[in-house]
Amino acid sequence: MKRKPAKRTNNNRKSNSGSSIGRLFRYLTIFAFIGLFLTAAYHYRRGLAYYLGFKSHKVSEKEIEDKRLSDVRNFQVLAKREGKSVGVDVSEYQGKISWSYVDTLEQKYPIDFVFIRATVGRDRKDFQFKRNWIGAKENKMIRGAYHYYRPNENSIEQANLFIKTVKLEKGDLPPVLDIEKLPKNQSLDSLKKGLRRWLLKVEEHYKVRPIIYSGERYYADFLKEEFSEYLFWIANYNFYRERIEEDWLFWQFTEKATVPGIKTTVDVNIYNGDLQQLQFITVD
């Protein structure tokens, strides 16, 4: 004899419905807690960063000591600058700069000029160049643009990228070629030919002779004799040097200065003359 199938009751449906609502409620609660946690973490991000930095105090102490030593030398150099003009140079590594606050070093020494990285090699523009270029002008600073030269890339392509990127105006500083590396796949003679091609191409376009930036050793070993017709911007951070050399146009004497409006440390430079003389070398 066949049994009649039992009728389904609504109790099962209610049970399934109740468990689904319970799961949904638990998920919503979990998401709410995650949202609150992320919101709190963002709100207190600076405090968390400070806490984490405090926990790694050994690194911080070394950095603080290095900064103290750098500050001592910076004071010595600036105190002996003898009325010479002071400026900085920046790139995307300084992040977003609040240009309206960039005015003095150590609340005492006015910042008259800034060099801004524009291009790198044959195909890369500095991510912050446009913003920095406009910001410096709005802040009424004398500005200049520089190109970071890659020895193993075509020099004319590098020059063309710089020319396409940088529109110099009256009152801007001459363009700068930054050369710091030795070539890997070419001779020194080939490197020097490439540098000269870049310099001539850029001079032809802007009708002003570029400045060459490099480290003191690189300058002495590879550039001083063969590029003697050019003016040089030299980097030297050694403690024994406290004054600019007579044949240097600019001297980058530190990479660890603190400037209002810039979150990271920054390079500082001395021009071998006063503000009026600096204005004299700008583009007409």
pLDDT tens-digit series, residues 1-13: 444 554 545 555 5
**Segment 142-194, tens digit of pLDDT:** 999 999 999 999 999 999 999 999 999 999 999 999 999 998 888 999 999 99
Give the pLDDT band of residue 242 (cuts 50, 70, 90).
Answer: confident
Residue 283 in this model has a pLDDT that exceeds 70 = yes
Cα 22 to chain centroid distance, Å, stands at 53
Q: Residue 116: helix, strand or coil by DSSP?
A: strand
Task: Say which of 61, 106, 180, 247 is annotated catalytic.
Answer: 180
**284 in catalytic set:** no
pLDDT in tens, 123-145: 999 999 999 999 999 999 999 99
**How does pLDDT run across 164-173, given as a tens digit for each residue?**
999 999 999 9
CB 210 within 8 A of CB 175: yes
How confident is the model at residue 41, as a pLDDT? 53
Full-model pTM? 0.77
232-250 core/surface letters (b: 16 or more CB in 10 A; e: else): bbbbbeeeeeeebeeebbb
pLDDT per residue over 63-108, tens digit each?
555 556 667 888 889 988 889 999 999 999 999 999 999 999 878 8
Rounded Cα distance between 71 and 64, Å, is 10
Count of Cβ atoms closer than 10 Å to residue 21 Cβ: 10
- Sign of the dihedral defined by the CA atoms of residues 68, 70, 73, 74, in that order: negative
Amino acid, single-letter form, for residue 229: E
Catalytic site includes residue 216: no
